[in-house]
Structure 1
Amino acid sequence: MQATHTYLQIHPDDNILVALQDLPKGTEIRHNGHQFRLIEPVAGKHKFTMSDLAPGDQIFMYGVLVGKADKPIPQGSALTTGNIHHASSDFTLGERKLQWSKPDVNKWKDRQFMGYHRADGSVGTANYWVVIPMVFCENRNVEVLKEALVDKLGYSKVKAFDHDVEMLVNMYQQGVSEDEILAMELSGKPASQNNKKVFRNIDGIKFLNHEMGCGGTRMDADALCGLLAGYVTHPNVAGATILSLGCQHAQASILKKEIMKRDPNFSKPLIVLEQQKEGTENQMLTKAIKRTFAGLMEANKNERKPAPLSKLCIGLECGGSDGFSGISANPAVGYVSDILVTLGSSVILSEFPELCGVEQELSDRCVDESTALKFMDLMRVYNAKAEADGSGFYANPSPGNIRDGLITDAIKSAGAAKKGGTSPVTDVLDYPERVSKPGLNLLCTPGNDVESTTAEVGSGANVVLFTTGLGTPTGNPVAPVVKLATNTTLFNRMPDILDINCGTIIEGKETIPAAADRIMEYIIDVASGNVQPKAVLLGQDDFIPWRRGVSL
Structure 2
Amino acid sequence: MNQTIARDAGQLDSLRVHAADNVRVALKDLPADSEIDDGDRRIRLAEPIRHKHKFALTSFEVGDSVIMYGVTVGRVTAPIAEGGAVTTENIEHNTDTAVPQARRGHWQAPEVGAFEDVTFEGYHRPDGRVGTANVWLVVPLVFCENRNIEVLRQCVADALGDDPFREYKQMARELLKGAAALDEAPEPVPERLFSNVDGVRFLTHTLGCGGTDDDANALCQLLAGYICHPNVAGATVLSLGCQKAQIQMLRNAVERRDPDGLRPVHYLEQQASLSEEDLIRQALTTIFDGLAEANRVERRPAPLSELTIGVECGGSDGFSGLSANPVVGGVIDRLVALGGSGILSEFPELCGVEHELLARCRDDRVAERFRDLMTAYQNHAARVGADFSMNPSPGNIRDGLITDAMKSAGAARKGGDSPVVDVLDYTEPQARRGLNLLCTPGNDVESTTGLAGSGANLIMFTTGLGTPTGNPITPVLKISSNSEMANRMADVIDFDAGPVIRGEASIDDLADRLLRLCIDAASGRYRPKAVALAQYDFIPWKRGVSL
TM-score bracket, shorter-length normalisation = over 0.9
What's the CA shift for 1:500?
Answer: 0.4
Rounded Cα–Cα distance in structure 2 between residues aligned with 1:93 and 1:33: 27
Rounded Cα–Cα distance in structure 2 between residues aligned with 1:489 and 1:544: 30
TM-score by length of 2: 0.95
Rounded Cα–Cα distance in structure 2 between residues aligned with 1:463 and 1:307: 14
Contact 1:356 1:393 in 2 (8 A): yes
Q: Which residue of 1 aligns with 2:164?
A: 157
What's the CA shift for 1:164?
Answer: 3.4
- Residue by residue, what CA displacement relative to the aligned partner does 1:148-182 show, whole Å, maximum 9, x if unpaired? 212212322143343333233225999xxxxxxxx
Q: Which residue of 1 aligns with 2:483?
A: 488
1:444 equivalent to 2:439? Answer yes
Decide which of 488, 500, 509 is 2:504's aligned counterpart: 509
Describe the shift of the 1:296–1:316 C-alpha distance in structure 2 as closer, same or farther (beyond 3 A): same
* RMSD, aligned α-carbons: 2.0
The sequence identity of aligned pairs, in percent, is 54
What's the CA shift for 1:13?
Answer: 1.2
Superposed counterparts of 1:535-546, under 5 Å: 535-546=530-541
TM-score by length of 1: 0.94
Rounded Cα–Cα distance in structure 1 between residues aligned with 2:320 and 2:485: 12
Describe the shift of the 1:82–1:192 C-alpha distance in structure 2 as closer, same or farther (beyond 3 A): farther
Describe the shift of the 1:402–1:193 C-alpha distance in structure 2 as closer, same or farther (beyond 3 A): farther
Superposed counterparts of 1:37-56, under 5 Å: 37-56=44-63
Rounded Cα–Cα distance in structure 1 between residues aligned with 2:178 and 2:282: 44
What's the CA shift for 1:198?
Answer: 1.5
Superposed counterparts of 1:192-271, under 5 Å: 193-271=188-266
Contact 2:315 2:465 in 1 (8 A): yes
What's the CA shift for 1:143?
Answer: 1.4
Decide which of 318, 321, 332 is 2:316's aligned counterpart: 321
Decide which of 381, 398, 402 is 1:386's aligned counterpart: 381
Structure 2 unmatched runs, 5+: none
Describe the shift of the 1:369–1:248 C-alpha distance in structure 2 as closer, same or farther (beyond 3 A): same
What's the CA shift for 1:93?
Answer: 12
Q: Amino acid of the residue matched to residue 217 of structure 2?
A: D
Describe the shift of the 1:171–1:289 C-alpha distance in structure 2 as closer, same or farther (beyond 3 A): closer
What's the CA shift for 1:199?
Answer: 1.3
Rounded Cα–Cα distance in structure 1 between residues aligned with 2:38 and 2:223: 53
Q: Which residue of 2 aligns with 1:75?
A: 82
Rounded Cα–Cα distance in structure 2 between residues aligned with 1:330 and 1:173: 49
Rounded Cα–Cα distance in structure 2 between residues aligned with 1:33 and 1:106: 38
What's the CA shift for 1:299?
Answer: 1.4
1:124 equivalent to 2:128? Answer no
Identify which range, 216-225 or 344-353, moves more after superposition: 216-225
Contact 1:224 1:545 in 2 (8 A): yes
Q: Which residue of 2 aligns with 1:7?
A: 14
Q: Which residue of 2 aligns with 1:181?
A: none
What SS is found at the alignment partner of 1:147? helix
What's the CA shift for 1:91?
Answer: 9.9
Contact 2:34 2:45 in 1 (8 A): yes
What's the CA shift for 1:96?
Answer: 6.0
Q: How many correspondences in the alignment? A: 538
Structure 1 unmatched runs, 5+: 175-185
- Residue by residue, what CA displacement relative to the aligned partner does 1:3-30 show, whole Å, maximum 9, x if unpaired? 2211111111111111111111011022
What's the CA shift for 1:98?
Answer: 2.4
Identify which range, 103-112 or 138-147, moves more after superposition: 138-147
Contact 2:235 2:265 in 1 (8 A): yes
Q: Amino acid of the residue matched to residue 36 of structure 2?
A: I
What's the CA shift for 1:255?
Answer: 1.0
Contact 1:156 1:195 in 2 (8 A): no
Q: Which residue of 2 aligns with 1:374?
A: 369
Rounded Cα–Cα distance in structure 2 between residues aligned with 1:303 and 1:172: 45
1:101 equivalent to 2:108? Answer yes
Q: Amino acid of the residue matched to residue 133 of structure 1?
A: P
What's the CA shift for 1:388?
Answer: 2.1
Describe the shift of the 1:250–1:301 C-alpha distance in structure 2 as closer, same or farther (beyond 3 A): same
Q: Which residue of 2 aligns with 1:178?
A: none
Contact 2:71 2:98 in 1 (8 A): no
1:424 equivalent to 2:431? Answer no
Rounded Cα–Cα distance in structure 2 between residues aligned with 1:436 and 1:88: 31
What SS is found at the alignment partner of 1:347? strand
